[in-house]
Amino acid sequence: MNILINENIEETFKSGYISDLHQVINHTKGFESFKEYDVLFSKEDPLIYLSFNYEKGLFLSIKDKKLKVYEYKKEDVLNILIRIKEDLNKKDLYNHCEDVIKKYKVYLKSFEKSKFKEIKKGEKTIKEGDFLYTSWGYDQTNIEYFQVLKIIGKNYFIIREVYQYNDPDKESQQTYYNVLPTEEFLDLPIKAYISNDGYCSVCENGYKRSLYCWDKKSKYKTNSQFGH
């Protein structure tokens, strides 16, 4: 274990800058901000904030108005996550460790060798590097873009959500956008499924969404300020 940052941020609290924790983290010695999905546990009074950058093997702690960042070997990350979860559970503190652990295991699978380079089901073919998207919503249209990271079986593959941007060649209106995918990852990897007849889907938190192959055209998306 190596301590990268050990800084008293009491002055940051006094200035009111603490209102955005991610800004605080990013502000501290210019350190790269931890993402929203890295959060394991957060409490406001007194402030305790635990976050884990699973890709870099970094653990961040804000406690007693001190910010610390520890570096771990990547092969130790899973054990560290499990120990943190057990400690928080013993103290009966609600946390997000289990979700991060599950997704971290999927992330590890994305590096394993696979004998599958693509999946062909019905008239559909899925291969590494492909972009897929979801289109869903009630009284509105939400779009999510994903990139295929790894084929891990005859019916399963790993995807990861990416950021999106407005199509510069199409005019956006007040109520909607036309969006395209980037290659910058937004969230943790997740496992997706393709049925034998070619239907693709992803399920998170009990909610199943259809996945469609991207045709390299921008997709209509409702402005978040409008719709249901």
For the segment 1-41, what is each residue's pLDDT rounded down to a tens digit?
Answer: 788 888 887 776 666 555 556 556 655 555 555 776 678 88
The model's pTM is: 0.74
Query: CB–CB of 17/58 below 8 Å?
Result: no
**Could you tell me which of 89, 87, 113, 85 has the C-alpha nearest to residue 101?**
85
Cross-strand bridge partners of residue 143: 135
- For residues 224 and 33, what is the distance between their CA atoms, to the nearest angstrom? 25
Per-residue model confidence (pLDDT) at position 107: 84
**Could you tell me which of 128, 73, 124, 80 has the C-alpha nearest to residue 100?**
80
Query: CB–CB of 81/101 below 8 Å?
Result: yes
What digits encode the pLDDT tens for the residues 60-107?
888 888 888 888 888 888 999 999 999 999 999 999 898 888 888 888
The CB density around residue 226, as the number of other CB atoms within 10 Å, is 12
- Specify the long-range contacts of residues 106-115, CB closer than 8 Å, at least 24 apart: 106/158, 106/188, 106/189, 106/190, 106/191, 107/54, 107/55, 107/188, 107/189, 108/78, 109/150, 109/152, 109/158, 110/149, 110/150, 110/158, 110/160, 110/189, 111/150, 112/150, 112/152, 114/150, 114/151, 114/152
